[in-house]
Amino acid sequence: MKPISELLRSLAAGEISIEQAEQSLASREIEAIDGATVDRGRKARCGFGEVIYGEGKPADLIVRVAEKLLELSPSVLVTRLAAEVFAEIQVPHWQMHYSPQARTLRIARTAEALAVVDESSSPLRPIAVVTAGSTDAAVAEEVAETLTWMRVPFRVLTDIGVAGPQRLLASLPALEGCAAAVVVAGMEGALPSVVAGHVPYPVIAVPTSVGYGASLGGITALLSMLTSCASNVSVVNIDAGFKGGYVAGLIACGQQVPPQSDGE
């Protein structure tokens, strides 16, 4: 990163614009508060603001960090937040959506910023959120809540695992036209490879801890997905719905569909 003096010289020489200088300065911003250091520049650097990992954090710290982040973004995402901690978060001027299944909290200044994005009105191609079994739903919900926070549309396909392959075949039309798929599976973790063999886009595989003894809390699914023969499969950590959703959201944002003219 350039020193500020060099940045100012580049601005004075006309080598960069005021907007570029502003973005560079914003990306340096951090703010220390009691118990945390808030990364105020992450949105400028990475496109999306800092996400609060809620597990182990007291409610008052989450509130103070979120207040700082809401100064920069219309909404904030908190992950792995226990219901009893959420019950302690009472801020009258906030709009909030808590998902007990995903253990996520979305906070915004307006109700509009909390709404799920309508695929028909979005310039982005949707993400397919696919589960192998109903017991993978909590992780898939974390994927969906992450995509909602990122303002990325998505389609949910549930319970189409490899034990009943005809279910996937019946769902193939819904997989068309997507930017990527997030496939959530436990047990032997085979579904991402099967989905990847039918689609022309990236598949983000999310192993879950669902399964009997030899599934080893998701390690079997993780290793199976890592050794996938399908070329378009990438893998995130066990039960990491946020990570799968975030990567898929970045892919969708990088494939923005150009707006059509009024005459077309």
CATH of the domain at 182: 3.40.50.1970
Note the pLDDT of residue 257: 47
Residues of the chain with pLDDT > 90, as a percent, come to 62
Q: Are residues 65 and 165 in the same domain?
A: no
Range of the domain at 197: 119-255
Same domain as 245, residue 135: yes
Q: Mark out the alpha helices in the chain (DSSP H runs).
A: 4-12, 18-26, 42-46, 59-70, 83-86, 137-149, 165-175, 191-196, 219-226, 241-253
Q: Are residues 165 and 110 in the same domain?
A: no
Q: Tell me which residue has tokens 């809620």.
A: 54
pLDDT-based confidence at residue 2 (cuts at 50, 70, 90): low
Q: Is residue 48 part of a domain?
A: yes
CA 171 – CA 189 distance, rounded (Å):
18
- Does 146 lie in the same domain as 76? no
Q: Are residues 125 and 234 located together in one domain of the fold?
A: yes
Domain membership flag for residue 153: yes
What global pTM score does this model have?
0.84
Distance between CA atoms of residues 216 and 207, nearest Å: 11
Check residues 235 and 119 and name the one with the higher pLDDT: 235
Residue of 151 and 92 predicted with greater confidence = 151
Same-domain pairing of 139 and 203: yes
Choose the weakest-confidence range: 30-34, 138-142, 183-187, 220-224: 30-34
Token digits of residue 162: 């490899």
The upper half-sphere exposure of residue 68, i.e. CA atoms within 13 Å in the direction of its Cβ, equals: 22
Worst-scoring range by mean pLDDT, 40-49, 65-74, 174-183, 185-194? 40-49
- Does 8 map to a domain? no
Q: Is the pLDDT of residue 262 over 70?
A: no
Residue 133 lies in a domain: yes
Please give the backbone phi and psi of residue 63, each rounded to the nearest 5 degrees, phi first: -65, -45
Asked if pLDDT for residue 225 goes beyond 50, the answer is yes
Q: Is the pLDDT of residue 182 over 50?
A: yes
Listed residues 114, 130, 160: the one ending a domain: 114
Count structural domains, the chain: 2
**85 and 182: one domain?**
no
Residue 31 pLDDT more than 80? no
pLDDT of residue 26: 66
Whether residue 131 is found in the same domain as residue 232: yes
Are residues 165 and 110 part of one domain?
A: no
Does residue 259 surpass a pLDDT of 80?
no
pLDDT tens digit sequence for 54-91: 999 999 999 999 998 998 888 999 999 999 999 999 88
Same domain, 38 and 91: yes
pLDDT at 245 over 80: yes
Of 82, 114, 146, the one marking the end of a domain is 114
From 71, 86, 114, the end of a domain falls on 114
Structural contact between residues 256 and 248, judged by C-beta atoms closer than 8 angstroms:
no
Helix axes 18-26, 4-12, angle to 10 degrees: 170
Residue 187: DSSP 8-state? T
Q: Do residue 212 and residue 167 come from a single domain?
A: yes
